[in-house]
Structure formats: structure tokens, C-alpha cells
Amino acid sequence: MLNDTLANALSVILNNEKIGKKECTISPCSNIIKAVFKIMDENGYIGSFEEMVHNNKAVLKLNLLGNINKCGAIKPRFSVKKDGYEKIEKRYLPAKDFGIIFVSTPQGIMTHTDAKKKNIGGKLLAYCY
């Protein structure tokens, strides 16, 4: 039984990236995982993904590009205020303006740079660089 499906999905991606695979499957899939993958696709970390049904379960099939150095879930899901992103960037990213942090806000899941532009806070979900 899985406790954190997002952490499991990101570790599967990272493991497949490290061994050089070009695609992988993620199971189980949720709306949070799909939203995070959509943002990763927009930022060029992964290729396209599609949802398929395999043995009566929803499965995501990902195309990997080899652009991920590290990704992971942030646990516990800390709250961050609209002026607290600088501290979070220093903790989870190797350099300023390098990588993205996924934030769950009242306006949906977005990157920390978008949340800074919109001047809103939220809960930290994951990071990727």
C-alpha cells in the first residue's frame, strides 16, 4: 500500500532517468500527479504523457527526455507565504532560477515563479531540476 503516490511517481521517473530509459509507466495516477506532469511537460523536463487503462486500472505512460537531474516530493507539505519563496528556493534548488518547485495554491497547482508573480502562497508539493 502506497502512502504518497506523488513521491512514488517522482521516484519512478528519477530511477528510469538514471538508467537511461526513454519511457516509463506510472500507476496509480491522480489529478495531482497529472497536474505536476503537465507543468513538467511545459517546462521541458519530461516529454508527452498519456493516460491508458491497463488491467482495469488507470496508468500514465510517460516519454522521458533525460533532462531531470533530481526530483522529489516535499514532505511534510509545508505552507509558504507569498514572501517566503526565497527561503524555499535556497533549501530545495541548487541555484537561483534553476529548477522549479510545485506549489498547491487556491488557484490551482503551479510553479513557485508563477505563484510569486501572482503574489499568492500555498502548500509545497515537489521540486524538480
**Region for 56 from its dihedrals, namely left if φ exceeds 0, alpha if ψ lies in -120 to 50, beta otherwise:** left
- Cell digits of residue 13: 521517473
> Whole-structure pTM over 0.85, yes or no?
yes
Top-level class of domain 5-64: alpha beta
pLDDT greater than 70 at residue 122: yes
Q: What is the mean pLDDT of residues 80-109?
A: 95
Compute the mean pLDDT over every residue in the chain, rounded to the nearest whole number: 94
The domain limits of the chain are 5-64, 71-128
* pLDDT score recorded for residue 54: 84
* pLDDT score recorded for residue 118: 96
Q: Which helix (H) or strand (E) holds 103?
A: strand 100-105
What is the rounded CA–CA span in Å between residue 72 and residue 56? 28
How confident is the model over 4-46, as pLDDT tens digits? Answer: 999 999 999 999 999 999 999 999 899 999 999 999 999 999 9
Check if CATH label 3.40.140.10 holds for domain 71-128: no
